[in-house]
Structure 1
Amino acid sequence: MPIEVDESERLAEIADATVAVANERGTRAVTLRAVAERLGRSTAFITNFVPSRAHLMVNALEHAQSHWRTERASLLRDATGIERLVAVARWMCSTTPEDNVLRSLWVEVIGDVRGDTRRAYDVVREVTDATYQEFVASAEATDLEHPEYIADILYLYCRGFHVKTVEDPEAWTDERVNASLEVLLRALLGPRLDALAG
C-alpha cells in the first residue's frame, strides 16, 4: 500500500529549505540540487513537488504570503482609523531574518519577469497590491485630508525600505528606518499621532 504524502507539508518543507539555502549562500545559490541537499533528498524528490528553480521561488513566496496575511490580519484585527494606518506602516517596516531573504528573492523575481518566474512575480504583486490596498482603506477610514496621497507616501516609504534592506542591510536597520518613519508619521498625522500614544 503506498504511503500517503501530505503535499502541503512537503511544499512547506521545501519552502523552508529554499529560504535556508538563500539565507546561507545567497539567492543565486537557490537551485533544485541545493534545496534537495539541504533536505537530504534527491533532486527527483524535489521536482516531484516543485519542477523548476522558478517554482522553488514561487513556493517560498507563496508560503511567506500566507504567513504575512495571517500576521497582518492578527495585528489589525481590532485597529481602526489612524491607529490601523499607523499599525500597517510600522508592521511594514519591521524585519525578521527570514524577511530579508524573502525580499532578496522578491528583488530577483521583479528583475526577471519571464516564463516560469512570471508566477513568482504574480505572487509578489498579490502581496504588495494587498498591502497597498490596506494602506488605502486605512487612510480612507480616517478624516485625514488627501488620504490617497498619505497611503501612497507610506506605501512607497515602506517599499523603499524593503529594497534598501536588500541593497545595504547593515546601514538600513529597523531602528534607523523606524526612527525616520516616526518623523514621517508625525509630519503626515500631526497631533493625531500623539493622541494614539495617550
Structure 2
Amino acid sequence: MPVEVDTDERLADIARATVDVARERGTRAVTLRAVAERLDRSTAFITNFVPSRAHLMANALDHARAQWDDERATHLGDLVGVERLAELCRWMCTSSPEENVLRSLWIEVIADVRGANRRAYEVVRGVTDATYGKFLAGAEHVVAGEVGPSDPADREQAAHIADILYLYCRGYEVKAVEDPEAWTDARVQASLEVLLRTLVFEPAAG
C-alpha cells in the first residue's frame, strides 16, 4: 500500500526550515535547494509541496499567521475595550529572533508583489488588513465606549486613532529589522506608552 502523506505536516516542516535558513543565512539565501538541504531532502521532494521560492515565502508566512493568531489570543486573554487596544499595540511592538526573520520575509515580499510573489503578498496583506480591523475596533471603544461610534465624526476620530497606532506598530516592525540594536524593545515601548497615554487613555478617561 502507498505511504499516506500528511501534507500539512510536510508544509509545516518546510516552513520551519525556511525560517531556519533565513535566520542563519539571511532571506536572500532562502531557496528551494537550501531548504531541501536543511531538511536533508531532495529539491524534488520540496517542489512536490512548494513549487517555487515565492511559494516558500508564502508558506512560511502562512504558518506564521496561525502562530501569530494563537499568540495574540493568548496574550490579550479576556481584555476588552481600551485596555485590549493598548495591549495589542504592546504585543505588536516586541521582538524575538524568529519574529525579525519573519518580518524580513514580509518586507521582501511587499517590495515586489509581481508574478509568483503575489501569493506571498496576499498572505501578508491578509494579516495586515485583519490587524488593522482590530485596531479600529479598539479605537471605537476609545471615542465612544462600549456602544461604539454613533456619528460620522466619532467614526472619523476612531479611524485616525487606529491609523496612527497601526502605522506606529508597522513602522516599528521595519526598524526592528533595519536597525534592531538602536530600536530596542525598551526604547520602542517607552515611546509607545507616551503615544497610548495621549491617544488612548486620556481620551477614554475624559
> Shorter-normalised TM-score: what interval?
over 0.9
Q: Note if contact 2:81-2:142 (Cα within 8 Å) is conserved in structure 1.
A: yes
Greater CA drift, 25-34 or 172-181: 172-181
Q: 1:192: how far off?
A: 6.9
Query: How many Å separate the matches in 1 of 2:88 and 2:180?
Result: 21
Query: How many Å separate the matches in 2 of 1:28 and 1:60?
Result: 14
Q: Note if contact 2:142-2:203 (Cα within 8 Å) is conserved in structure 1.
A: no
Query: How many Å separate the matches in 2 of 1:46 and 1:114?
Result: 23
- In angstroms, what is the RMSD of aligned CA positions? 1.5
Query: How many Å separate the matches in 2 of 1:189 and 1:138?
Result: 9
Query: How many Å separate the matches in 1 of 2:201 and 2:132?
Result: 22
Identity %: 70
Query: How many Å separate the matches in 2 of 1:133 and 1:160?
Result: 17
TM (normalized to structure 1)? 0.93
Partner of 2:149: none
**Which of the numbers 178, 187, 190 marks the counterpart of 1:167?**
178
Q: 1:184: how far off?
A: 1.0
TM (normalized to structure 2)? 0.89
Residue 34 (structure 2) pairs with residue 34 (structure 1): yes
Partner of 2:150: none
Query: How many Å separate the matches in 2 of 1:183 and 1:83?
Result: 15
**Which of the numbers 161, 164, 167 marks the counterpart of 1:150?**
161
Q: Structure 2: any 5+ residue segments left out of the alignment?
A: 145-153
Partner of 1:87: 87
In the TM superposition, what whole-angstrom CA distance separates every residue of 1:28-81 from its partner, at most 9, and x where no partner exists? 000000000001111011001000000000000000011111222233341111
Q: Note if contact 2:82-2:201 (Cα within 8 Å) is conserved in structure 1.
A: no
Partner of 2:191: 180
Q: Note if contact 2:16-2:60 (Cα within 8 Å) is conserved in structure 1.
A: yes
Q: 1:190: how far off?
A: 4.3
In the TM superposition, what whole-angstrom CA distance separates every residue of 1:14-40 from its partner, at most 9, and x where no partner exists? 000000000000000000000000011
